[in-house]
Structure 1
């Protein structure tokens, strides 16, 4: 049992070692990709596309904690064109904080210039110059100053309220006043942490910034393809690290005091990926709230992956949108705004705050901040784990080795099923980790490896089968008809040259008097004579009845039916071929006589039975042939055709296997090398083609043969002489007349079984 298993293993290794080796090398090479030992922009792009698709598959989950007060088209129509004067914004803040009691307000808008839209500065100049002689004007201006100082009104509305102003980062000059940084380089213990870095910004005027609780950057940098996927939680401006709008707004909402956000430095370098080590990353940010510390993980560049869901906008379904005009007029639903984090932004087309994101090419910029705020509040962040590269390496290697070893031994259908199952499993597990555990992993390298291994094994198998088919055509093309070769090439697995035992019919053909023929022809004529004869016989064997041409033995031909393609009617095909060959020989003979060449006569022996067939021979030369007692008998039958004066002699097994033909019994014989007698017959033709006169002759002959075996010599002689007189060309009758004369002189005795014994081949 163990020996058989080892032999099967050796056979498998011999058959599949090349494919296994190539597959394993491919798997190992692919597994090195996530470790950064080689790179591919094409794979990176595909991973990005899959990441975008994966994000689009997530259903939007409504979050009532974040509300967007939208400066939309309706608000622009009712209030006026934007930017609005700051007395309107002051009212908006007052409504939100004192009337609707929101939890915090974040402005996705900056205020880098003073607001002079009230006209107070113009009136003040008039009072100082052209109308300085009008005392009442100056007095009235003093009374109106507070109501016309829109920046002052706005600053007053901001004082003491959880309102965060926005500002924009730029590469130009610094403008406006920044809030205090959340931490500086000193807090990093000398470690340089990479972040979005700039010296330029467009911040808010000092009056407003000092009045507000804080400020945060609303700058969002897209990826190289212009799509926003990541969000900078912290940006570096000169020597300080400053909060983004989302982080600052959440801090205001959670009542985080100044200095309440600190960096968490990595404990060990090995905990970082190669990219993180090179970029100088933090582990996380800690936000200290009255309820305890919150950890906010950050990726390379102090960023987080934005968790987009739904198409965004008022109809997106994730965040509630309230028109700013409704807040100003008091028509907004208090239940929607109470204790909520409010982001003031715009979706109006003309205000150009739409960004390209994985879920929508025109996504409201203010909702990007809302998504980040939701993630911070939930404490759930889509992130690439520190050991993500190791996991991807192990996944690719395991999947690759499995498929490299298993696909090679499977049929194409099962290859497709296995590869499809692995693809589906990899995608499903990747999406499961993303949606249920917020783990972001790259998967395309693994999917590409599965596809490559599948295509490689499929192509390898195809070309292997093609080569096998070509080899089959090459090896069997000399033996069988082209139609059979084509049939075999379609399913080469079903055919081989291994030895086996099978019921077959064998044929031996020989030229009568070949020595005399060769003496009467020149070498050139003899070659042409033999070539014409062998070509005609070979075509009858292969093409007409799809026999297998075994070999030429001088002027003799050997063929068989039933292998390599099995035919249940192999005996019938052989008998039909033998009759056809006799007709072909007659046709050839007419041509030979016209050329003055010797007459062509052939003898054919057929026998059916169990034979050994396969590729046999020596280490020097081999041939696809048949062997066995049944084959030897077929050879003997060809040899004794000349004794009975017939062109074809078949064994009893062939006669029984091809009953649709009419036969003339010749004798019971015991050939050299066999003890058991066999009946031999001459096929006459198909039963539906043989005339009545010939059938009557055969019946008369059968009766005469029975008299011979009964040793009734006189009656047998009389009947045979009558048949010989009617058919003088039939040598069989003359043979039996001679035998009768011999038996009269030498009686065989009472125990005679009627068998003729041949002592020679």
Structure 2
């Protein structure tokens, strides 16, 4: 149980600072999502993403809505704009009578009387200078129906499904407004917040009275000049009027009334909606009691869902030249049963607006897009609980990344960050496209990126620097793959002194003095460089040993630190056998060059050693010390006594049992009183052939006979073995020892130990 707090404490120490920074970043995002503070940059990013979401939806031609365009072609055929009202009357008659349009909306207003026919001038003359010409007065009365262009237009409008447009103006009152949708009195004391215009520029009374209705084509831009929302209801005085799009769509749907509606099903939800500036509804009441709900937000506004980039080639709505309608050239099937919006794209008359999808978007298509949403009964809306959902998503994602990325490797952290970011974008777009829900995304993206960058920066400035320091400190000692492993968790490794069970190796070249005398300095340098390189590669790369130092021609290495290996003894023995094989390979090359023969002696020992950064203030080294190290050095020195290439201590043999060993002796080295058994490793047990097994077994019988002072038995066995391996120095050594012991019997109390008085 005591391990858990210690483990937690270690984890907290390692990751705590990063966790804290991640939590702070996350909470800043949560507070923004809850509306505790605002930021223009974040708002701009949300607006940018809003536009990109719209652009992702490919435009689909809506044949129900057609834009009759007063274009350059129309001006060429019917004269400059504004056209006289008799032409407008002809246009309406054509659209309704000939083309059978179901609803027509004018994105144009007619606030001034049309005097272009000259009737008013003639009528004034008939009352002044020409009052004595009675025939003129009579003739004017006859021509009045034809020359009163407002009257002509009004006659064309009567009983036709036509909605005129008007503009809400802050500085003037002109024309006559239509009958309002409802008044403050109709609300029965309920408060309704809408844009309240101080003035208006409506149509002349005769046209207002003749038309089926009128709607405001005014648009309101955001602070950055972009049109993202539209007011469906606007207030003048105590009366409320529809937008052009709402009035035209209502006419097309044969609406009986349009009324504001609160969500009466969930009272608490309605309260929360109103407090958060969220959604109530407008309801279009149609025959049979059918209702079509339109979600609206602040000021009775709704989000404009733009489709395509707009214009005749935008792909969302069909454009038909007004000239082709007036002349009857347009096919009837293009306009029959449709909603027609009359607007203009003629040079000098173009009504362009900046929108999220196009900085030069035809204003008439703003109304077309709104009508399309009403006909489809699909509106993109920001739900009343959006701020709670956004704050919750920032909190969950931010905390998950804060805690998760800190514990991941750089590659996994990058992949996780990218996946979370992609999933957030995909989820936001799915909710927008499939469920028509609008959620802000910028703060969530900022938190994801910030937490990710913070972890990457932390990893670079702290973890990578630790790893670099580790590479710098240990790179000369251990294999590159071990350094890479250590760099994954650099806090586990340091050069502080500690005691561990390790295996140490000492390697020395036999007869190096003679070798150096037989070579030129340049040859000697190449000789020793080739030898040390081969030995070092075997130590570091083959079995991940730690290269301690070079001592002239000698090499010192160890296993088990800084990276702990439970099989450090086995690695050491395997490396010693590999090094002997490398020495034989090198020797063939050296002999071919005419250089002296290369022979090496290796001593291995395992045991408790002190390992760490040791030395002086001038120079330090990562090395090992202790009695077990000293014994390893002694074992290397006595390899030449026994005529073997490798000598290992008893502890090493006991730890690396997978090898076949030949016991050499019981020895008492200089500086130690306790005798130790020493062995020569031969090969892996699985690779040892039967002949070698037999020879080793017979040797151990001979060694037992020597220790029992059965000189004749020992001599007989050794003679047998010498016949098998006449060059083995170990047999010659024991033949000499037996001869000595025959001449100088060791006595009954002899322990069979050979004592060395020199190193």
TM-score (norm 1): 0.71
Matched with 1:376 is: 374
Pick closer, same or farther for the CA change 1:570–1:474 going to 2, 3 Å: farther
**Contact 2:93-2:156 at 8 Å conserved across structures:** yes
Would you say how many aligned residue pairs link Structure 1 and Structure 2? 630
The one of 282, 285, 288 aligned to 1:285: 282
Distance in 1 between residues matched to 2:489 and 2:366, nearest whole Å? 64
**Contact 1:504-1:570 at 8 Å conserved across structures:** no
Aligned-pair CA distance for 1:328: 1.1
Distance in 2 between residues matched to 1:133 and 1:449, nearest whole Å? 87
Pick closer, same or farther for the CA change 1:459–1:140 going to 2, 3 Å: same
Pick closer, same or farther for the CA change 1:464–1:149 going to 2, 3 Å: same
Pick closer, same or farther for the CA change 1:633–1:606 going to 2, 3 Å: farther
Pick closer, same or farther for the CA change 1:744–1:427 going to 2, 3 Å: closer
Distance in 1 between residues matched to 2:331 and 2:609, nearest whole Å? 94
Matched with 2:505 is: 505
What is the correspondence of 1:647-726 to structure 2 with a 5 Å cutoff? 652-653=647-648, 670-671=667-668, 672-676=673-677
Aligned-pair CA distance for 1:228: 1.1
Distance in 1 between residues matched to 2:403 and 2:59, nearest whole Å? 42
| Deviates most, 303-312 or 741-750 | 741-750
What is the correspondence of 1:57-456 to structure 2 with a 5 Å cutoff? 57-257=56-256, 260-265=257-262, 267=264, 270-271=268-269, 276-277=274-275, 283-292=280-289, 293-456=291-454
Distance in 1 between residues matched to 2:11 and 2:152, nearest whole Å? 87
Distance in 1 between residues matched to 2:314 and 2:471, nearest whole Å? 66
Aligned-pair CA distance for 1:406: 1.9
**Contact 2:125-2:131 at 8 Å conserved across structures:** yes
**Contact 2:107-2:342 at 8 Å conserved across structures:** yes
**Contact 2:168-2:197 at 8 Å conserved across structures:** yes
Distance in 2 between residues matched to 1:26 and 1:164, nearest whole Å? 53
Q: Deviations over 1:249-275 (max 9, x none)?
A: 122222334xx2222246578536989
Aligned-pair CA distance for 1:465: 2.5
Aligned-pair CA distance for 1:287: 1.8
Q: Which SS does the other structure have where 1:421 is aligned?
A: helix
**Contact 1:256-1:290 at 8 Å conserved across structures:** yes
Distance in 1 between residues matched to 2:712 and 2:679, nearest whole Å? 18
Matched with 2:603 is: 607
**Is 1:492 paired with 2:487?**
yes
**Contact 1:273-1:387 at 8 Å conserved across structures:** no
Aligned-pair CA distance for 1:634: 2.6
Q: Deviations over 1:292-317 (max 9, x none)?
A: 32221111111111111111122222
Q: Deviations over 1:63-87 (max 9, x none)?
A: 2221111111111111111110000
Distance in 1 between residues matched to 2:280 and 2:489, nearest whole Å? 63
Aligned-pair CA distance for 1:745: 7.2
**Contact 1:561-1:573 at 8 Å conserved across structures:** no
Distance in 2 between residues matched to 1:161 and 1:678, nearest whole Å? 115
Pick closer, same or farther for the CA change 1:317–1:637 going to 2, 3 Å: closer
Q: Which SS does the other structure have where 2:298 is aligned?
A: coil
Pick closer, same or farther for the CA change 1:193–1:637 going to 2, 3 Å: same
Q: Which SS does the other structure have where 1:161 is aligned?
A: coil
Distance in 1 between residues matched to 2:143 and 2:576, nearest whole Å? 120
Q: Deviations over 1:3-59 (max 9, x none)?
A: 988886665445333333332343233222211122221111111100000001111
Matched with 1:720 is: none
Q: Which SS does the other structure have where 2:224 is aligned?
A: coil
Pick closer, same or farther for the CA change 1:499–1:300 going to 2, 3 Å: farther
| Deviates most, 629-638 or 749-758 | 749-758
Q: Which SS does the other structure have where 2:53 is aligned?
A: helix
Distance in 2 between residues matched to 1:485 and 1:425, nearest whole Å? 37
**Contact 1:146-1:153 at 8 Å conserved across structures:** yes
Pick closer, same or farther for the CA change 1:677–1:139 going to 2, 3 Å: closer
What is the correspondence of 1:599-638 to structure 2 with a 5 Å cutoff? 607-611=603-607, 615=611, 626=624, 631-636=629-634
Matched with 1:468 is: 466
**Contact 2:104-2:340 at 8 Å conserved across structures:** yes
Distance in 2 between residues matched to 1:491 and 1:315, nearest whole Å? 62
**Contact 2:105-2:248 at 8 Å conserved across structures:** yes
**Contact 2:109-2:203 at 8 Å conserved across structures:** yes
Aligned-pair CA distance for 1:130: 3.2
**Contact 2:675-2:753 at 8 Å conserved across structures:** no
TM-score (norm 2): 0.72
Q: Which SS does the other structure have where 2:311 is aligned?
A: coil
Aligned-pair CA distance for 1:415: 1.3
**Contact 2:382-2:437 at 8 Å conserved across structures:** yes
**Contact 2:66-2:320 at 8 Å conserved across structures:** yes
**Contact 2:262-2:270 at 8 Å conserved across structures:** no
Aligned-pair CA distance for 1:612: 5.3
| Deviates most, 21-30 or 361-370 | 21-30
Pick closer, same or farther for the CA change 1:637–1:204 going to 2, 3 Å: same
Q: Which SS does the other structure have where 1:169 is aligned?
A: coil
Q: Which SS does the other structure have where 2:319 is aligned?
A: strand
Aligned-pair CA distance for 1:276: 4.7
Q: Deviations over 1:318-355 (max 9, x none)?
A: 22222111111122222222221111111223203111
Distance in 1 between residues matched to 2:481 and 2:330, nearest whole Å? 82
Q: Which runs of 5+ in 2 are unaligned?
A: 509-530, 564-570, 584-599, 614-619, 654-663, 682-710, 714-733
**Contact 2:665-2:677 at 8 Å conserved across structures:** no
Matched with 1:595 is: none
Q: Which SS does the other structure have where 2:348 is aligned?
A: helix
**Contact 1:473-1:486 at 8 Å conserved across structures:** no
**Contact 1:470-1:489 at 8 Å conserved across structures:** no
**Contact 2:107-2:165 at 8 Å conserved across structures:** yes
Distance in 2 between residues matched to 1:158 and 1:309, nearest whole Å? 31
Q: Deviations over 1:599-645 (max 9, x none)?
A: xxxxx99622445567579xxxx99654788534235459989x99x
Distance in 2 between residues matched to 1:49 and 1:614, nearest whole Å? 63
Q: Which SS does the other structure have where 2:283 is aligned?
A: strand
Distance in 2 between residues matched to 1:228 and 1:624, nearest whole Å? 70
Distance in 2 between residues matched to 1:74 and 1:184, nearest whole Å? 43
Aligned-pair CA distance for 1:145: 1.1
Distance in 1 between residues matched to 2:608 and 2:313, nearest whole Å? 81
Backbone CA RMSD of aligned residues? 4.7
